[in-house]
Amino acid sequence: MFLMGEDNLVVHPSCFEVFQSMSGPLTDYYCNSSHNTYLSGHQLKSESLAQMYRIVLLTGCRCLELDCWPTNRDTECVITHGNTLCTSVPFRDCIEAIAETAFIVSEMPVI
């Protein structure tokens, strides 16, 4: 997959290494972040995938967006871009994807 390959990274892999003091408050640092993390394409009509969380975490992202929406069952929610034609994905699937990959590339916290 060329788009997600090392030859096409926005941030050079050497930048994933800690090179400064990390003892300051979070507001002192820039974080690689993701908006509509779960979407595989267009923000109004694409598929929502738990796999997208794995992909962005493995490319250095440390700030994720989880758009949680209730379902008809009181105990479950889904991740989706509400009031659009996007599909939904179970919240549990996304949290499991995050847990599996959050600290493979970096030991820095995930926000």
Query: Which residues are designated catalytic?
Result: 35, 81
Matching residue, tokens 């009509």? 45
In angstroms, rounded to a whole number, what is the distance separating the alpha carbons of residues 91 and 106? 23
* The Cα angle at residue 87 between residues 85 and 89, in degrees rounded to 5: 155
